[in-house]
Amino acid sequence: MPGFALEPDQLEWCGELRVLAGARLRPLADKGEPGRVNRPLVEALGEHGLLARLFGSGALDLCLMRESLAYACTEAETALALQGLGAHPVAAYGSAAQRERWMPAVTAGRAVAAFALSEPDAGSDAAALGLNAAQDNGGWRLTGEKCWISNAPEADFYTVFARTTPGAGARGVTAFLVPADRPGLSGAALDMLSPHAIGRLDFDGVPVSADDVLGDVDGGFGVAMNTLNLFRPSVGAFAVGMAQAALDATVAHAAERTAFGGPLKDLQAVSHKLADMATRTQAARLLVYAAACAYDRRDAGIARGSAMAKLLATETAQYVVDTAVQLHGARALQRGHLLEHLYREVRAPRIYEGASEVQRTIIAKELYR
């Protein structure tokens, strides 16, 4: 991948987003109920034009938004990303009627979207999903379960991936747009380590028709993978934003905190860790930006670049946040401390949208193409 540097106007925009996230979005996030969709926060993202920009620009803009918001307000970042993930298949593959019905409400923050791919026995192995779509009067009936679905069960609609051709693996999956009020659709919230809105969905003969298909029948695996190829580098951007926040907090702490006769930063053991944290964060950032630019240019090797970016950035963020906690000591473990928050937030990105092991498998396979 080529080298990369942001333009001055992009750097200025990122700074503005950080200020917006800290001054306007952070207070809304603080008022939200843990484990529930924060609709005022989603609406604020729409009011400030971020959701419209999310769907009107490319992967690099998405990465810049996610990194900048994550630095000051991870909840705002997550709300933005989930709107994008859930509604991108509608924007990219939906019919004119589907787009007209849902996209204005999504970009305004009035309708909450969700991406329903994972199942209890088909998380990382998306081709093995088993939500059954049985033919019924020219349409289908969906029966089965989805699990670990962000924004479930409170979303207004779901991009749902179901098996329309048994035994066909990846070639037998179809993507459907399923409004939340369809008969037979129910769900429940899950209590997770980091209290996001995540839940289970139960499908008891939920009716869908040809008008609900996103893309082509049996073409849903491509819808899922193309969506993930776009969003995987931006998961890395989310991770880089958290890593930078942890790094900046630790640099300030090491300059202020005294121990053994001087500031922590003068201890070689500490200064070398700070150097490693900074170097790894910058390396991850550059790989994320390069992968995003490659996606926007439609270069060859997008799947490999996206996987590399997500893998390096999420693993780096885990290291940086963990090291930051160690250098802060017990204060970082107190409820309400920035690093206590980041320590819980940073773990999940190494799993969702393809665990680190899946990213390594993608990269290894691409090496032999």
Cα 269 versus chain centre, distance: 34
* Omega within 30 of 0 (cis) for the link into 179: no
Helix ranges restricted to H, 48-162 = 50-56, 59-72, 74-93, 96-108
Structure tokens at 109: 């923050």
Alpha-carbon span 13 to 142, nearest angstrom: 44
Alpha-carbon span 82 to 149, nearest angstrom: 10
Residue with the two structure tokens 């019924």: 136
List 47, 353, 357, 366, catalytic entry: 353
Alpha-carbon span 23 to 157, nearest angstrom: 30
Structure tokens at 201: 């969905």
φ, ψ of residue 166 to 5 degrees: the values are -60, 145
Alpha-carbon span 84 to 169, nearest angstrom: 26
Q: Going by DSSP bridges, is the β-strand pair 198-208/173-179 parallel, antiparallel, or unpaired? A: unpaired
* Omega within 30 of 0 (cis) for the link into 40: no
* Start-to-end Cα distance in the chain: 17
Known catalytic membership, residue 353: yes
Helix ranges restricted to H, the chain = 8-20, 26-31, 39-47, 50-56, 59-72, 74-93, 96-108, 220-256, 268-297, 302-328, 338-345, 356-367
Alpha-carbon span 62 to 55, nearest angstrom: 9
Alpha-carbon span 150 to 116, nearest angstrom: 8
Per DSSP, the residues of 143-168 read: EEEEEEEETTTT-SEEEEEEESSTT-
CA 17-13-337 angle, to 5 degrees, is 30
By annotation, the residues acting in catalysis are 353
